[in-house]
Each structure stands twice: as structure tokens, then as C-alpha cells.
Amino acid sequence: MTTARTATPSTARAINDRLALNLLLEQGPLTATELRDLTGLSRPTVADLLDRLQRTGLVALAGERGEQRRGPNARVYALVASRAHIAAFDVRSGGVSLVVADLAGRGLAAADVPVEGGGRPGTAAAITATLLETARGAGVERLHTVAVGAPGLVDPATGRLQSTGKLPAWHAELLAALRELPGTEVILENEVNLAGRAEYRVGAARDRDTFVLLWLGHSVGAAVILDGRLRRGFSGGSGEICFLPVPGTVGLPSADSCEGGFHGLVGSAAICALARAHGLPAGPAGDAPAAEAAVRAAVTAVAAVPAEAGEKGEEGEAGGAAGRFLDELAERIAIGAASVCVVLDPGCVVLGGEIGRAGGAELAGRVERRLSRLSPLSTEVRAGTAGGGAVLAGAVLTAGDAVRRDLFGEP
């Protein structure tokens, strides 16, 4: 026989406090009446928790609401966003982007630090110094939590970064330097996983508890969200689909190279080569910006073709080449997406990264149509909406979650 347990008064107070704090975080300043309506708590309980949270410095009186209303019912209470500060990093081989934010996730300052030639001695120290200078410039002396998004495998057990390619040495050195900051928690996460969190919380998959983010940039990766939880796999390698063996490549991938895998079909260099094969311009560098520009130009060219001309097959030379390029690119993307879908059946695939952003709804629609011919499972394909800063957005969300667990007492 199971006996129901009644929460102790202290546990009930903690639950009520978390509920009120999260409402103030999500909805902004609220009156006591609004808190009562949203929480269903009694007037004395709300008054008690507001008094308690003001004493802890997490909530403060923020004025009054209404021209004619005065007194306790008109008082507006707000989360004290300056109670703690966080930082977020998007670490790439060519440098880092960072942002400093408050408890509510509002960005206060940002910086970009380019790193040339694989870095040099002192690179990690210089980036750390830039972080501290950026924070001080925003009036922040201490960072509660720093979340770092980086390429590679993040071991769920140890939190260590393991490269699946050739990452520069300063990546590991930067993590070590950040972990030496006094009183600061450092969270390391795979960059694509952070982008997946951003799409789940504030992007294209806000209405989905299960989906896969397909990250299309310099290389390709995936973030797997199942039943509202990010799934990393045994060694942190869930989503390393750049190594996925697929038809159409010159060979097979190896343990230390993804050139023969899915990366060989939809990596930025492959996309640039595909554009040139269709007579479209593509930057010689073959990097993510060059591939993004090629895809964006193709989408623009297709959009410029009148609908009636497209229906008659009279797209014109530029529009026709652009359409054929996007069709073949969509076919390639669908091959990798189908392999993921028949295993996980996510019901939704989000195209992110520089290429997904550039392709938008035009590319997503073409991928969805081709995917429907490759897989018997109904799968919607959406363009990511978290934007080019999806990794940073996910890092801010991750750091903010950690702060709330600490300050709000969340489980």
C-alpha cells in the first residue's frame, strides 16, 4: 500500500517561491493579485513569499500599476536580475564570441575574439582577460556561471572535451583558464546541443517535445531532443552524424576523419563545389560563410522567378540553375535526415546552422518533400529560427538554468 506524503511547511514554501520566481522571470513584473491568479495561492501565502523573497534580495518593489489605483494592490514586484550574472561562449576554431548577461538572460555586453593560425601561447589567457574586461565594462565584477559551447564530444561522466577532429590546443587551455576563475561554475556543452536547446526553448521547435536539429555549417551535426530532454548518448557522441556513412561520397569515414561520411555531402566545401557545378558563384575558401552566401543567393534567385513562369518551366537560366542546385542540396540533406528519422522517428527536423538559416523555408520545404519519398515516417522539416547566435542563445539558457538551480533552489 502506498501512503501519500504531505509536503513539510519548508518544502511547500520552497515550491511556492520557485513558482513565483519563475513567473517573474518569464512574464516580467507582476502585482500580488496577478501572482495569486497565476499561482492559485492564497492572499496570505503570496504576501508571505513576497516578503521572504524581498529579504533574500531576489525580488524588489518596482513601482505601481494603474493611474487610479494606489496601495498594496497596485504594487508591482520584479525579479532582481542583477542578483547574479552569467557569461556564454561560442567557441570555434577561428575564435570565440561571448556575451555577458544578467539573471533574466538579458545581454549586457558582448565581444568577439578572432584567433588566427591555430592560436599561440597566451591565447586562452587573452580570451579570459577579454571576458573579464567585457564584464567589468558592463558593471559586473563576478560571474556566477559561464556556459561554453565547443565542437567535439563532451563526456557526460567527466565533462571533458574530446575532439573528433583536429581542434586547436587553445580550446582545452581556455576551459582550464575559465575553470580557474574564483567562485564561477563552468559548464561545457557541445555547440550543436546548445543550438538545439535554443531552438527548443525560443526557436522553431517551441511546440515540440521531440525533434532533431540538423546543424549545417562548416561541417554537420545534430542535436537530439526526445520527450523534452537533450540526449547525449553514452560518450556524448549522439548526433555526430558527420561520420554517418551515406551513398554519394568517395569513400567511407574513419575513426579520425569524417571526410567520407555525411560531411562529404553537405559540409561547406561540398556545398560550394555543388554550387559551382551548377554554374553558380561560390567563394574559393569553401568555408561556412562562402556556402551560406551561395545558398542565400540561390534562394534569392528562385524567389525572383514569377510563380507563373515556374509553373510553365520558364524559370530562366539563373533561376533554373539555382533551383536545380537547391534540389540537389535538398536531396543530399534528406539522405542524412532519413537515416536519423528511421531510427529515432522524431516527427520534426529543424535545419539550423549557417546553411539552414540561409536556406530558410525554401530549402526546408524541398528537404521535406524528398524526405517523404525516402522514409515511411511522417516528418515535418522546419527552418531554424534561433538565428546565427543559436549557440550563444543556448549557452545563455544553460547558464541561466544553472543559476536558477542555485538561487531558486530548483531540483
What confidence score (pLDDT) does residue 68 get? Answer: 47
Of the listed ranges 48-52, 122-126, 310-314, the one predicted with least confidence: 310-314
Contact (Cβ atoms closer than 8 angstroms) between residue 25 and residue 104? yes
State the pLDDT confidence band at 145, using cuts at 50, 70 and 90: very high
Phi-psi region of 233 (alpha: psi -120 to 50; beta: other; left: phi over 0): left
Dist. CA 175–CA 263, nearest whole Å: 27
Q: What is the DSSP string of 318-354?
A: HHHHHHHHHHHHHHHHHHHHHHHHHHH--SEEEEEHH
Give yes or no for residue 48 having a pLDDT over 50.
Answer: yes
Asked if residue 143 lies in contact with residue 135, where contact means CB atoms within 8 angstroms, the answer is: yes
- What would the pLDDT profile of 201-219 be if each residue is shown by its tens digit? 999 999 999 999 999 999 9
* pLDDT given for residue 161 in this prediction: 78
**CB 249 within 8 Å of CB 386:** no
Tell me: the pLDDT tens digits for 328-337?
A: 999 999 999 9
- What average pLDDT score do residues 371-388 get? 93
> Tens digit of pLDDT for each residue in 276-311?
999 999 999 999 999 999 999 999 999 987 765 554
pLDDT, residue 1, reads 44
| Predicted pLDDT at 287 | 92
The pTM of the full predicted model, rounded to 2 decimals, is 0.90
Beta carbons of 398 and 194 less than 8 angstroms apart: yes
Contact 56, 6 (CB under 8 A): no
Pairing between β-strand 153-154 and β-strand 380-383 as defined by DSSP bridges: unpaired
pLDDT mean across residues, the chain: 90
Residue owning grid cell 543559436? 390
Q: Is the pLDDT of residue 395 over 80?
A: yes
Q: pLDDT band at 315, cuts 50/70/90?
A: low
pLDDT at 9: 82
* Stretch among 123-132, 149-158, 226-235 having the lowest mean pLDDT: 149-158
Burial environment of residue 234 by CB neighbours within 10 A (0 to 12, 13 to 18, 19 or more): exposed
**122, HSE (Cβ side, Cα atoms, 13 Å):** 1
pLDDT at 350 over 90: yes
| Residue % of the chain over a pLDDT of 70 | 92
What gap in Å lies between CA 192 and CA 151, rounded to an integer?
8
